Amino acid sequence: MPVTMVRNTLKGPTVIASDIKGTVTVEWSGAGDPMGGDIQPVPAEIVDTVPFHRALQRGILVLENPEDNPELDAAIARQNASWKAQAAAVAEAGTEALDPEANNDLVVVSCIGPDTKGTGKCGADVPVRDQQRDDKPPLCNVHAELASQYVAEELGVVDGKTQKGWARVTMGARESSR
């Protein structure tokens, strides 16, 4: 079954469907599309429709001869290159998601903000990225505005890693320098 290759001559995208339900559709990019999307193969279900023939008569769509047509070959090569680039990007994104070195895990830590009585810690669960757990104090939504009142402190070294904690800055009685 021969394939009918058709070029869009309009600057914007063009879409033609085989019926009102859109059972089979073909979408062209605007004329001169750098990815070659302005040339598309068209199935017989669309070639046999009145809207397709009207688009041909009005010059919106132009039939391309697939035999010895370097411009058509170049457009198809651009489409293939675009598809391969998209497939490679998807594969790379999938690989990055599985990369064990990324350490992009979510961990749950307890909120260090004050409890409602002011005598202990809030303790609400706060989800944070494992890599970023020491970047800012773990505060729930209720206590998030208190972040500027906390400073990081080193608690010691365990298994060669420096353990960090957070201390709330408090105001004490003024000391005399005399």
Query: Would you state the pLDDT for residue 56?
Result: 92
Query: Would you state the pLDDT for residue 50?
Result: 92
Distances (CA, A) of 4 to 70, 77, 85, 175: 16, 17, 26, 90
pLDDT above 80 (res 178): no
Residue pLDDT, tens place only, 79-134: 888 888 888 888 887 776 666 666 677 888 888 888 887 777 888 899 988 878 88
Q: Are residues 94 and 119 in the same domain?
A: no
What is the rounded distance in angstroms from the CA atom of residue 122 to the CA atom of residue 109? 11
What is the rounded distance in angstroms from the CA atom of residue 144 to the CA atom of residue 161? 27
Query: Would you state the pLDDT for residue 97?
Result: 65
Residue 175 belongs to some domain of the structure = no
Query: Would you state the pLDDT for residue 143?
Result: 87
pLDDT above 70 (res 175): no
Query: Would you state the pLDDT for residue 101?
Result: 65
% of residues, the chain, pLDDT over 90: 17
Residue 150 belongs to some domain of the structure = yes
pLDDT above 90 (res 15): yes
What is the rounded distance in angstroms from the CA atom of residue 79 to the CA atom of residue 76? 5
* Domain residue limits at 125: 106-168
Query: Would you state the pLDDT for residue 2?
Result: 65
Number of structural domains in the chain = 2
Tell me which residue has tokens 């010691």: 156
Q: Are residues 83 and 122 in the same domain?
A: no
pLDDT above 90 (res 59): yes
Helix (H, G, I), strand (E, B) or coil at 3: coil
What is the pLDDT of the chain when averaged over all its residues? Answer: 83
- What are the two backbone dihedrals, phi and then psi, of residue 28, each rounded to the nearest 5 degrees? -105, 145
DSSP 150: E
Q: Which of 67, 98, 129 is the last residue of a domain?
A: 98
**Alpha helical stretches, state H, 29-138:** 44-47, 50-57, 70-98
Q: pLDDT band for position 3 (50/70/90)?
A: confident
Nearest of 65, 67, 56, 57 to residue 28 by alpha carbon:
56
